[in-house]
Amino acid sequence: MSERPARVGLFVTCLVDLFRPTVGFAAVKLLEEAGCTVEVPRAQTCCGQPAYNSGDRADAKAIAARVIAAFEPYDYVVAPSGSCAGMIREHYPTLLADDPAMQKRAQTLAARTYELVSFLTDVRGMSGVTARFDGTITYHDSCSGLRELGVKQQPRKLLATVAGLRLAELPGAEICCGFGGTFCIKYPAISDKIVSEKTADIAATGATTLLAGDLGCLLNMAGKLKREGRPIAVRHVAEVLAGMTDIAPIGESKAE
């Protein structure tokens, strides 16, 4: 594992910030284990994807400019989300294409921006974790992480080193969960159909815990699993890798 210290700016993501700070703290712990110093720029809010995907380029650009300014001092930008990391890495340069100076800064930042788990394995050379988690889990490959950033083997590689953990592969792991940002609000019936097929696939694995790397997907799948009364716990993969699973799973409380 690389011993060279690296200054990481943690891109918390709006969903982690609002819904599940534990994921952020798990990310910090893992990054520190990987020999990074972690700072959290206070000026961050959102990566701008909601505006971008809704066709509001102007707002998306304005938000992107702020993100670039807040994060460019760091060696790396790491987000516990393939969707947000993908936005910065894959879309900021195109988004800012009509302002060459801004685009250059976007490209520079993009080259240093990563999704959390793939950063740990591919950049920091992390080959295992010391966490323990007893039980069978299944893993959903979030679309952006998978298709924009190539996140597939990396979480599986680290999960394989978690003591007590057994991975049951999810058939159709690469099929969308139906979240799609504003899609699930704009087309709820279709989204529901898609997530229902996903929860059926998840239940069929026999796993007692579902993991993924994107909180949007996780909130969507957890919400459906709970509504269906399925006894499957849902967590962000960072929680398990960091051994921070004291907190109740997503959509549950300690009382359950």
Partner 1 sequence: MQHATSRHFKKNARRALDDAQLQRALGHVKKNFVERRAAAAARLPEFEALRDRARDIKNHVLENLDVYLERFEAKVVANGGQVHWCADAEAARQTILRICRSVNAKLVTRGKTMIGEEIALNDFLEANAITPVETDLGEYIIQLRHEPPSHLIAPAIHVNKEQVAETFRAAHTDLDPKRPLTEPPALLAEARAKLRSRFLAADVGITGANFLVAETGSSIIVTNEGNGDLTQTLPKIHIVLASLEKVVPTLEDAATILRVLARSATGQEMSVYTTVSTGPRRADDLDGPEQYHVVLLDNGRSRMLGSEFREALRCIRCGACLNHCPIYHAVGGHAYGWVYSGPIGAVLTPSLIGVEEAGHLPNASTFCGRCESVCPMRIPLPKMMRHWREREFERHLSPPAARWALRLWAFAAKRPALYRLGARIGARLLKLRGGQSGRIASLPLAGGWTAHRDMPAPEGRTFQQLWAERSRP
The footprint of partner 1 on residues 24-53 (CB under 8 A) is: 24-25, 40, 42-46, 48, 50-53
Select from 220, 212, 200 the least CA-distant residue to 240: 212
CA quadruple 177, 178, 180, 182: dihedral sign: negative
* 174 near partner 1, judged by CB under 8 A: yes
Q: Quote helix, strand, coil % in the chain, to nearest 5.
A: 50, 15, 35
Q: Is 81 exposed, middle or buried (0-12, 13-18, 19+ CB in 10 A)?
A: buried
**Least distance from partner 1 to the Cβ atom of residue 128, Å:** 26
- 47 vs 63: CA distance, rounded Å: 7
Q: How far is the CB of 118 from partner 1 (least distance, A)?
A: 17
Closest CA to 44 of 22, 19, 20, 15: 15
Q: List binders of partner 1 among 51-70 (CB under 8 A).
A: 51-57, 59, 62-63, 66
Among 7, 104, 132, 193, binds partner 1 (CB under 8 A): 193
The least distance separating partner 1 from the CB of residue 1, rounded to whole angstroms, comes to 25
Minimum CB distance to partner 1 smaller for 66 or for 166: 66
CA dist 60 and 187 (Å) reads 23
Which of 9, 93, 180, 213 is in the footprint of partner 1 by CB under 8 A?
A: 180
2 Cβ neighbours under 8 A, 6+ residues apart: 34, 35, 123, 124, 125
- Determine, following the binding rule CB under 8 A, whether residue 200 of this chain makes contact with partner 1: no
Q: Which residue type sits at 134?
A: D
- What is the size of the binding site for partner 1 (CB under 8 A)? 71
Residue 145 in the binding site for partner 1 (CB under 8 A): no
User: Is residue 179 part of the contact set for partner 1 (CB under 8 A)?
Assistant: yes
User: Binding to partner 1 (CB under 8 A): which residues in 231-250?
Assistant: 247-248, 250
For partner 1, which is the closer residue by CB, 63 or 77?
63
